[in-house]
Amino acid sequence: MDSSAHCVRFACMDTPQKILFSKKEAAHALGISLRSLDYLIARKELPTRHIGKRVLLPVTALQQFARRDHPTSLVSASGVAEIGVEK
């Protein structure tokens, strides 16, 4: 495999990796809506960083969240968002 193919398939060491995602990017990466992401942030399920008016999420926090089990859905039958609520 030549070096250009390697760079396409894997991130090159010369290319800086993103360490903070916008809320839109984070929701997309997790496969959830922005509203669900806002709920997780409000419940302190996901930490945020603020730069000016921007709200950013560390990629490591998104990876840790994705690796955890979540026994309940973000939205119950009543339409109210809930996480980790045992019935």
* pTM of the full structure: 0.65
- For tokens 């945020």, the residue is 48
pLDDT tier at 87, thresholds 50, 70, 90: very low
pLDDT per position as a tens digit, 38-53: 999 999 999 999 999 9
Separation CA 32–CA 38 (nearest Å)? 10
pLDDT tier at 85, thresholds 50, 70, 90: very low
Q: Provide the b/e sequence for 48-84 (b: ≥16 CB within 10 Å).
A: eeeeeeebbbbbebbeebeeeeeeeebeeeeeebeee
27, 74 contact by CB (below 8 A): no
pLDDT tier at 70, thresholds 50, 70, 90: confident
Residue 86 confidence (pLDDT):
46
According to CATH, what is the number of the domain 17-87?
A: 1.10.1660
**Domains in the chain: boundaries:** 17-87
pLDDT tier at 7, thresholds 50, 70, 90: low
